[in-house]
């Protein structure tokens, strides 16, 4: 059983390293690449927690789609070479607040234990999720499709150039 | 049977959440702020999946909820990026400190 602990420690190091690199690197693209490391580490945690389907979805959506969309966002906008520095005072206040938050939460969850673990999650994991989605959660599932459609149309409308601007651009 | 307790996963998620919060509050670049919010949502997902295995009344429901969260986070990223592009076209900046038209 020490194997499980070893895998956990390796994944923990990968995840936390990615996050710390994101906070400390200076170039935006490098920050994005550091976060891919974090997303992959989290996918590893999902596999350890016998959530194979969620792990694959995590890799597809986060390491794939969201990273690519954010890279597009970075490339379509102009960036100064290095991130402008935030003032030390603001950083200090935010850091203190977050450390306090961390300590309070840590005290609460340090020794938490909530009874026996579920031991049938890995058996036909995808089938179980599918059955649950189409029995208990049909209405949220359909609503999520509406949310995705609205987000798709909304993103296109927001990112589209205004027609008025285009005409003015042609005249000038 | 398991040697990794629930609290280990929760502390990992807490660390990720704190890093995301710090990034969202201190970084100036709007793209990085957006991606920091994604990091916080990821920490929440990790909690959901951990509770699906070790929580009270553990069942597959936690994983289903994490799938819903991932969907909404993806929609949020797409809309946020579209707003960012529209804003960049009008103001030619991605610095969140300069996005203060409503304040003036």
Q: What is the predicted pLDDT for the residue at A164?
A: 65
In chain B, the number of structural domains is 1
Whether residues A49 and B50 touch (CB distance < 8 A) is answered with yes
In B23-76, which ranges are E strands? none
Whether residues A94 and B26 touch (CB distance < 8 A) is answered with yes
Claim: this prediction has a pTM higher than 0.95: no
Q: What is the predicted pLDDT for the residue at A171?
A: 56
**B103 part of a folded domain:** no
Per-residue pLDDT of chain B (104 residues; tens, 9 = 90+): 457 888 889 999 999 999 999 999 998 888 889 999 999 999 999 999 988 888 777 788 889 999 999 999 999 999 999 988 888 888 777 788 777 777 77
User: Pick from A53, A73, A84: which is nearest to B28 by CB?
Assistant: A84
Nearest chain B Cα to A104, which residue? B14
Domain that holds residue B28: 6-91
- CATH number for the domain running over A1-82: 1.20.120.1200
Cβ atoms within 10 Å of A22's Cβ, excluding its own: 26
**B100 part of a folded domain:** no
**B97 part of a folded domain:** no
Per-residue pLDDT of chain A (172 residues; tens, 9 = 90+): 688 889 999 999 999 999 999 988 888 889 899 999 999 999 999 999 888 999 999 999 998 899 998 898 888 887 765 566 667 888 899 999 999 999 999 998 887 777 777 777 778 888 989 998 999 999 999 999 999 999 999 998 888 877 666 566 555 4
Smallest CA-to-CA distance from B11 within A153, A140, A109, A130 is with A109
User: Cα A123 from chain centroid?
Assistant: 26
**B59 part of a folded domain:** yes
CATH classification at residue B63: 1.10.287.3510
What DSSP state is assigned to residue B29? B
Q: How far is Cα A44 from Cα A40, in angstroms, rounded to an integer?
A: 6
Here the tokens at position B40 are 């916080």
**B35 part of a folded domain:** yes
Which chain B residues are closer than 8 Å to A147 by Cβ?
71-72, 75
How far off is chain A from B68, nearest CA to CA, in Å?
7
Domain ranges of chain A: 1-82, 123-161
Q: What is the dihedral of CA A113, A116, A122, A123, to 10 degrees?
A: -170
């Amino acid at each position: 059983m020490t194997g499980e602990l070893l895998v956990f420690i390796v994944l923990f190091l990968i995840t936390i390293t990615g996050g710390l690199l994101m906070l400390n690197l200076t170039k935006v693209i490098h920050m994005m690449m550091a976060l891919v490391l974090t997303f992959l580490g989290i996918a590893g945690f999902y596999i350890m927690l016998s959530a194979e389907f969620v792990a694959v979805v995590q890799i597809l959506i986060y390491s794939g789609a969201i990273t690519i969309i954010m890279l597009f966002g970075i490339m379509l906008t102009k960036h100064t070479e290095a991130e402008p520095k935030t003032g030390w005072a603001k950083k200090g206040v935010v850091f203190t607040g977050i450390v306090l938050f961390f300590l309070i939460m840590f005290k609460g969850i340090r020794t938490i234990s909530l009874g026996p673990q579920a031991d049938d999650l890995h058996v036909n994991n995808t089938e179980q999720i599918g059955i649950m989605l189409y029995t208990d959660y049909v209405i949220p599932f359909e609503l999520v499709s509406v949310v995705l459609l609205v987000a798709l149309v909304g993103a296109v409308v927001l990112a589209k150039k205004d027609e008025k601007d285009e005409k003015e651009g042609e005249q000038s | 049977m398991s040697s990794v307790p629930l609290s280990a996963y929760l502390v990992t998620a807490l660390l990720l959440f704190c890093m995301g919060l710090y990034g969202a509050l201190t970084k100036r670049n709007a793209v990085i702020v957006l991606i920091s919010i994604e990091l916080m949502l990821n920490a929440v997902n990790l909690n959901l999946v951990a509770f699906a295995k070790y929580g009270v009344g553990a069942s597959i429901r936690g994983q289903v909820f994490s799938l819903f969260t991932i969907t909404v986070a993806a929609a949020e990223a797409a809309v946020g990026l579209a707003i960012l592009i529209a804003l960049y076209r009008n103001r030619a900046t991605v610095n969140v400190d300069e996005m203060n038209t409503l304040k003036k």
